[in-house]
Structure 1
Amino acid sequence: MISMLDKLQARHFFWISTAAAIATILLKTLAWWVTGSVGLLSDAMESFVNLAGAVFALWMITIARCPPDAEHPLGHAKAEYFSAGFEGILIFGAAGAIIWSAVMRLLEPQPLEALGFGLALSVGSSVINLLVALALRRASRRLRSIALEGSSRHLMTDVWTSAGVLAGLGLASLSGWLWMDALVAIAVGINILVEGTRLVRASAHGLMDASLPAGEVSAIETVLQGFALRGIEPANLRTRSAGVESFIYVDVRVPPDWTILRIHDLLHEIEAEIQAIHPGARVFTHPEPLSGDAQGAPAA
């Protein structure tokens, strides 16, 4: 289960992400305004997506951390996958707008002004995004949050996008090739389209009840093998992850002459040992009679 401290920490990181998005929007919009660069405009538009994604992610992660209720007895953890999917869709929209604007500028190049000041503003915004992205990445691994991971990946994309824009504008300034500004913006749009595709794929994968990582499943099977030496037969091991929540299901075949109390104690022991190697997991065991007609294959 997710502790109250983890809930507060996750929301704390999204507030940081929101503040960073607002700061970078202001810096990049000012950079575009003083230079007239469509490349910097594309960078600023992506920051608007960052802000919308951060606000939506904050909402979803708040829902995901709500305790189970009558309508959602297994909790609300899957809400985080909607956050990653929503951010991916926003990226698609931003990429389309960026590419359209860039194509128009490619057809009608325009001179760039106050480029040095604009690039300095863009560098400052990139430093903010880099620091926040690294913090979100560490937090996503510790809290096992796909919403935090999605925001981190998006911010890192923004950092690389800004680096490409800066390189392209520098080349345009040195060479006088004004069309280079539009070409860089198109490359930016294509790059974030790829990132948006990854986020949507990860969201869909989670919503379809993906199993736990192979290493974690193997550790659970090892625990069950130990119990198999005691005359019982674990079978039909199933696992699934939903955001920060993990669910583990296993049938336990026992001799038909065992008492209910003995079966209860055994199942309780199995659940405790699995939770010892997978803290916070919800473990569900189901007893079945041990016989030659039992269906399903052993878990280990």
Structure 2
Amino acid sequence: MLKKELRIILLSLIVSFILTVAKFAGYFLTHSVAILSDALESIINVVAGAFASYSIYLTSKPKDENHPYGHGKVEFFSIGFEGAMIFIAGCLILVKAMQYFFLPPALHSVDQGIWIIAATTVSNLFLGLYLVRSGKRLPSITITGNGQHIMTDVYSSAGLIVALLIIHLTGLTWLDPLVSVIMGVLILRQGYLLMRRSISALMDETDMKVVDKVITILSAHRRKNWIDVHNMRVQQYGNNYHIDCHITLPYYLELSEAHDEMKAVEVLVNKEFSDSEVEFFIHTDPCIPACCHYCQKDDCPVRSFPFSGTITWTRENVLPNRKHF
């Protein structure tokens, strides 16, 4: 899988380099600051592709003594680095656009510039769709993120083509820096979103979608011995997850029986997360008389209180560090 991921990201790198050269050729031909903005954003595709290649290589390395959870978090560094580069490019685009508002250059060969940008846009469209689909199929958040960035480039380039057509047909050259400002703002937003995602992952912000998925899996295959689940925490390392939680079991189970229950949880969740590896660290809590009210073990030999009803597992009672009273 590593070789396939590297081939995909290297293809992205080569194509992005060729398209960047073509866009700069379009800028030198037309002197359009809007085309320059598009070319500057494409530089980020090249830099991000190079960084993504290294992150994919590093992610594939096995766990070791210094990295007991593996090297998957480097992918979030890759996303953050790409976001920072995009943000810087957006700032440069805005500065250049402001200069052109006051000192507008004469535009040349706008029709030829339109054809160049149109060709690069179509090429980027196919590349972006290929990367997004490949990233979801493998799965790889690095490839998916790279594809999503290129698709953003496609949308901005499509808007640029429309603007260049208007300029070419009407002669309203002041639209050139205006379009560049709009593109700069959109690029800044994209950079911010990528950096936000990177920081959230590096700080182990809980992904509620993953929590909900784990809760759904455990609820659907709930065993009578699993009295409650609480203090659940989820950490993501690339495409893999580390989950620790507390599970309340009947206090009289033997150690081997408790181990079998924990192993069943791990096997069950990993079966449903077929594209990822889920590592569990489970702390077992012994039941207490207050648990009898919602314990479903109808053949319990030590029940102190009658069964009142099942408690549905939700975020509200699975995430806090307390039994379900």
What TM-score do the two structures reach when normalised by structure 2? 0.83
Correspondence list, 1:73-88, <5 A: 73-88=68-83
Q: Verify the 8 A CA contact 1:211 1:239 in the aligned structure 2.
A: yes
TM superposition shift of 1:223:
4.8
After superposition, the C-alpha distances for 1:67-111 in whole angstroms (9 at most, x for unaligned) are 111111111111111111111110111111111111111212222
Report the counterpart of residue 172 of structure 1 in structure 2: 167
SS, match of residue 109 in structure 1: coil
RMSD between aligned alpha carbons? 2.2
| Match 2:322 to one of 293, 296, 300 | 296
Report the counterpart of residue 119 of structure 1 in structure 2: 114
Deviates more, 1:166-175 or 1:139-148: 139-148
Letter in 2 for 1:286: H
CA distance in 2, matches of 1:19, 1:123: 19
TM superposition shift of 1:51:
0.5
CA distance in 2, matches of 1:240, 1:139: 24
TM superposition shift of 1:231:
6.8
TM superposition shift of 1:140:
2.4
Letter in 1 for 2:207: S
Q: Verify the 8 A CA contact 2:228 2:323 in the aligned structure 1.
A: no
Q: Percent identity?
A: 30
Report the counterpart of residue 108 of structure 1 in structure 2: 103
CA distance in 2, matches of 1:92, 1:274: 38
Correspondence list, 1:46-85, <5 A: 46-85=41-80
CA distance in 1, matches of 2:95, 2:38: 14
CA distance in 2, matches of 1:208, 1:72: 17
SS, match of residue 323 in structure 2: coil
After superposition, the C-alpha distances for 1:184-228 in whole angstroms (9 at most, x for unaligned) are 11111111111111111111221222235154133233156x22x
CA distance in 1, matches of 2:231, 2:178: 55
CA distance in 1, matches of 2:100, 2:226: 75
TM superposition shift of 1:22:
0.6
Change (3 A) 1:235 1:93: closer
Report the counterpart of residue 285 of structure 1 in structure 2: 282
TM superposition shift of 1:52:
0.6
Letter in 2 for 1:261: S
Change (3 A) 1:287 1:218: closer
Report the counterpart of residue 98 of structure 1 in structure 2: 93
CA distance in 1, matches of 2:81, 2:259: 44
TM superposition shift of 1:37:
1.1
Q: Verify the 8 A CA contact 1:133 1:156 in the aligned structure 2.
A: yes
| Match 2:10 to one of 6, 15, 22 | 15
Q: Verify the 8 A CA contact 1:14 1:58 in the aligned structure 2.
A: yes
| Match 2:215 to one of 215, 218, 221 | 218
Greater Rg over alpha carbons, structure: 2
Change (3 A) 1:151 1:144: same
Runs of 4+ in 1 over 6 A off after TM superposition: none
Report the counterpart of residue 137 of structure 1 in structure 2: 132
1:161 to 2:156 alignment: yes
1:206 to 2:201 alignment: yes
1:251 to 2:277 alignment: no
CA distance in 2, matches of 1:123, 1:139: 24
Deviates more, 1:79-88 or 1:9-18: 9-18
User: Relative to total residues, which structure has the larger helix share, 1 or 2?
Assistant: 1
After superposition, the C-alpha distances for 1:98-139 in whole angstroms (9 at most, x for unaligned) are 111111112122222122222211111111111111111112
Larger RCO, structures 1/2 (Cα 8 Å, 6+ apart): 1
Report the counterpart of residue 191 of structure 1 in structure 2: 186
Q: Verify the 8 A CA contact 1:252 1:288 in the aligned structure 2.
A: yes
TM superposition shift of 1:250:
2.7
TM superposition shift of 1:278:
2.2
